[in-house]
Each structure stands twice: as structure tokens, then as C-alpha cells.
Amino acid sequence: MEGSAANEEESGLVRILNVEHDAEDVDLTHAKIEKLESFERLTCVKSLCLRRNKITKIEGLSTLTTLEELDLYDNQITQIEGLDNNTNLTSLDLSFNLIKTIENLGCLVKVTKLFLVSNKISKIEGLQNLPQLEMLELGANKIRVLEGFEHLTQLHSLFVGKNKITKLENLSCLTNLKLLSIQSNRIVKLEGLNSLMNLEELYISHNGIEEIEGLDNLTNLKTLDLASNRIKRIKNISHLVNLEEFWFNDNQLDSWEDLDQFKNCTKLQTIYLERNPIWRDTAYRRKVKLAVPTVTQIDATLCG
């Protein structure tokens, strides 16, 4: 068994040593790498992909000062560390690891994309020195509170789906946000969105929302996903004149007159209403098309 393990470790090291020293894009996906070593020979590397390995510690990368993209997706890393010298990083992917705390990112002031999907993170913190961050992906963690965004004024995409968040709050500083995905949480009320006037996409399906409200200032919305909630009436959206897609399947809508809300939505192309009470109407598709004549797709089916 020891010999087998040694061979696996050697094969990873051999893969590293076989990389040309002046390579700019290095892909070592699934290379059986357990330890980050011998990378100092890469003097020109800009993109380093180390997906699907057995790495447990971020180390040995301090000489890679040219590095702009680092991908450590699907490893066994428990702590964010060892990146202080990688100040040219613009993209960092640490998704599918074992990280509990967002920390030690203070030197990465050029980072625009940060991926921390499917870790063990319970608190949004440690982001205050990332002023250029544009995309933040925190899906599938253990987060309960939206917080820690105060300095992220350039953020345009925030993904926090599949967490344990109970309230929409502390978002007022994200005035440049264009996409908010907060699906599969524990939210029961639409609120706290008034400052997000540039928002174009809101995904908030699979929560416990009972009423459409709090969208007064979101006149730039193009996509609104409210699927799989507990909403009985479509209301308070007639002002969303830029709406192109409306996802409302798996709710409790039983009133056809509510579709009058879309009279001003002349750009609406896609609407999902399946598995609502009105869906059982034998003339369902014809009635939807009459009420919203601009749509080209009803549920998953294109209009004939």
C-alpha cells in the first residue's frame, strides 16, 4: 500500500515537473497532486488550474507573482492561506473544499471573481479589502445572515443560494448589483431591495414568500424568478416594464385576472405558471397567450 501511495504522489509531482517553465496557462486537473510543490519554476504562469486533486493546504505558490487566475475547485483545503504574494490574482476559485472561514484575502485587491461554493462557511466576512470584486459565489454553505458587503461597491453578481438565510437585509450598499440569486433559503418576505435600482435579475425561488412586494424601485428587472414559493396573487409588478422572463411555477395562483399585471410588460417573452391552480384549466395555454400576447414561451414549451 505504501508503494502505491508513493507512486500516486510521484505521478502528481511528475506532472508538475513536466510543465514548461515559461507556460502561461497550466492545467493540472485530476493529476493526483497532494502537495503544492515545485511550482517556483513557473515564472510566467497566468492561469493555474488544479481542480479535482487531493490538495489539503494552499502553499508553495508565493513565487507565482504573475498569477491572475487560480482554480483549486474540488480539493480538501480547510483554510484560506498562503496567497499574500499573489497580488495580481483577479479570479480565485476555492469551491467544493472544506473551508469554514473567509480569511487572509487582504492582499488580493485586484480580485474581481471569488468562488466559494459548497464549503462549510457560516459567516460572510473578510471581504473588506476586495474593492474590485464583481462576482461573489457563496452557494451551498451554512450562511444564516446576509452581511459583510459594506465595501463591495463594484459587486454586480451575488450568489447565495442553498444556505440558511432567513431575511433580505444589509444589501443597500450594493448599488451596482445586477444579479442576485438567493434560491433555496428560508426567506418569507420580499424586503430590503430598495437600493438595488440597477438589478436586472432576481432569483428567489424555493423560499417561503407569501406576497409580491418591495419591488418598487427595481424597474430595470429583466428576469424575476419567484417559483416554488407560497404566493397566491400576482401583484405589485405592473411597473416592471423591462421584464423579459417571469418564473412563477409551483405557487398558489388561482385568479386569471392577475395576469392583467403584465399589460405594461411589452418585453415579456417567457412566463412559467405551471403547477398553479390555473394550470389545471383546459384552456390554460390559450388564456395565458391572450392575457400576455408578447410571450413566445409558456412554461417549457415555445408558443406555436
Question: How far is the C-alpha of 251 from the C-alpha of 275, rounded, in Å?
Answer: 7
Its pTM stands at 0.94
CA–CA gap between residue 137 and residue 182 (Å, rounded)? 11
Based on the number of CB atoms within 10 Å of its own CB, is 196 exposed (0-12), middle (13-18) or buried (19 or more)? buried
Euclidean distance between CA atoms 186 and 163, whole angstroms: 8
DSSP reduced 3-state for 13: helix
The pairing of beta strand 69-71 with beta strand 47-49: parallel
HEC profile for 49-99?
ECCCCCCCCCCCCCCCCCCCEEECCCCCCCCCCCCCCCCCCCEEECCCCCC
The grid coordinates listed for 142 are 451554512
pLDDT at 15: 85
C-alpha 103/C-alpha 29 separation (Å) is: 25
Q: What is the pLDDT of residues 131-178, one digit of tens each?
A: 999 999 999 999 999 999 999 999 999 999 999 999 999 999 999 999
Q: What is the pLDDT of residue 12?
A: 77
Tell me what the mean pLDDT of segment 191-214 comes to: 98
- Bridge-partner residues for 301, per DSSP? 298
Q: Among all chains, which residue has been given the C-alpha cell 436586472?
A: 200
Residues 39-79 have pLDDT tens digits of 999 999 999 999 999 999 999 999 999 999 999 999 999 99
Q: Quick one: average pLDDT of 228-240?
A: 98
pLDDT greater than 50 at residue 2: no
Backbone angles phi, psi at 54, to 5 degrees: -125, 35
Across the range 270-280, mean pLDDT stands at 98
Does pLDDT of 14 surpass 90? no
pLDDT given at position 10: 57
Cβ partners under 8 Å of residue 7, min gap 6? none
Averaged pLDDT score across all residues of the chain: 95
